[in-house]
Amino acid sequence: MKWPMILSGAVLAAGGVVEVQAQRTEQANDWRLAATEDDRVRLRGWRSAWVKGLAQARTGGAAAEIAALGPLVDPDHSIAEPELPDGDYRCRTIKMGTQGRATLTYVAYPYFRCRVAGGGRQLSKIDGSQRLTGRIYSDTDARSIFLGTMILGDEERSYAYGRDRARDMAGVVERVDPTHWRIAFPYPAYESVVDILELVPIVP
């Protein structure tokens, strides 16, 4: 038997919590109101995850690769105005560190295509076997916050944010230089300690 839950004066079945979370995410202008508790915890630990992932990647044999990436993977380097202009981007994921379920401490994937729309508020990775989609929230003059979900394989629709922690994604959006952005995802659900998504605008 499913016991009803009382929320904001409405009686909801237990499964309705997912719909409430999705509605909060859609309506909230502050990422703190939209994010799940798990993602608020992950985002609070973004820098420690980054430092740990970097250290593991270097000691795991990728010191030269890390050095070649320069400011892209430096957690203390960013410039102001993190907003992403609408348009298409080359994007790739760099995984650093391991949570114990993977043996590799550094993986750099090839570039795929991402798209920003809605006045810089919507981000989607539109090809590849693992695709993200979600919303970018303003935070400070140096960073924004991404909240979204992962789409796998031939799936055509995404899960609602907050429905499945293994699919939820939360990251810190920063601008590296005038033509490069990144999103750092601390403690993703699988494999690595931190994932860095690099974004470079595609010039027509």
The 3-state secondary structure of 127-156, one letter per residue: CCCEEEEEEEEECCCCCEEEEEEEEECCCC
Least confidently predicted of 125-129, 141-145, 151-155: 151-155
For the chain, the residue count is 204
Most trustworthy range by pLDDT among 23-37, 108-122, 123-137: 108-122
User: What is the C-alpha separation between 146 and 135, in angstroms, rounded?
Assistant: 6
Percent of the chain's residues with pLDDT above 70: 85
Torsion of CA 84, 47, 79, 128, to 10 degrees: -30
Q: Mean pLDDT, to the nearest integer, of 42-47?
A: 97
Q: Determine the pLDDT at residue 67.
A: 97
User: What is the C-alpha separation between 28 and 108, in angstroms, rounded?
Assistant: 34
Average pLDDT, the chain: 87
User: What is the C-alpha separation between 80 and 20, in angstroms, rounded?
Assistant: 34
Q: How large is the angle between the packed helices 46-57 and 37-44, nearest 10 degrees?
A: 60
* Other residues' Cβ atoms within 10 Å of the Cβ of residue 17: 14
Q: Mean pLDDT, to the nearest integer, of 32-54?
A: 96
Phi first, then psi, for residue 171 (nearest 5°) are -145, 160
57-94 confidence digits (pLDDT tens) = 999 999 999 999 999 999 999 999 999 999 999 999 99
* Pairwise pLDDT comparison (34 vs 152), residue with the higher score: 34
Is the model's pLDDT at 14 over the cut of 60?
A: no
Q: Determine the pLDDT at residue 57.
A: 97
Q: Mean pLDDT, to the nearest integer, of 117-133?
A: 92
Q: Determine the pLDDT at residue 15.
A: 43
Q: Determine the pLDDT at residue 65.
A: 97
